[in-house]
């Protein structure tokens, strides 16, 4: 469980240290990337609480979710359809599910 938290902390610190200005066209990609990362992090926290956390599952899910969401967003851009909303909805739904399960665990 320490690996995901260290990764998020390193990413936040790196993001604050490097002031990168991204083009507005990348806003959708950034949004789905952030939600994919948060989904993986909350999923890892939930798995740790349930006692079945696996680093390989976490890392493969993290990169697979991010790549799939980026590919869906790219395909939507090429087709002229807002397919990134599908990824935002799916990751948002999973975030709330994981948060609810984590909350129930502590209650």
Cα 63-85-64 angle, rounded to 5 deg: 10
What are the tens digits of pLDDT across the range 37-92?
Answer: 889 888 988 998 999 989 899 889 889 988 998 998 999 999 998 888 888 898 88
Q: Among the residues of 1-107, which ranges form H helices?
A: 2-17, 27-50, 55-79, 84-106
* CA–CA distance, 72 with 29 (Å, rounded to integer): 10
What pLDDT is recorded for position 1?
61
Asked if 94 and 61 touch (Cβ cutoff 8 Å), the reply is: no
What pLDDT is recorded for position 97?
93
Mean of the pLDDT values across residues 18-34? Answer: 86
What are the tens digits of pLDDT across the range 89-103?
Answer: 988 899 999 999 999
Kindly report whether the global pTM for this prediction surpasses the value 0.75. yes
């Amino acid at each position: 469980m320490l690996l995901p938290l260290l990764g998020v902390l390193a990413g936040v610190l790196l993001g604050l240290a490097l002031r990168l200005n991204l083009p507005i066209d990348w806003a959708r990609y950034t949004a789905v990337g952030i939600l994919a990362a948060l989904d993986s992090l909350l999923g890892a926290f939930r798995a740790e609480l349930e006692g079945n956390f696996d680093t390989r599952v976490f890392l493969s899910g993290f990169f697979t979710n991010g790549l799939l969401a980026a590919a869906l967003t790219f395909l939507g851009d090429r087709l002229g359809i807002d397919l990134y909303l599908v990824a935002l909805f799916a990751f948002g739904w999973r975030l709330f599910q994981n948060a609810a399960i984590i909350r129930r665990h502590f209650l």
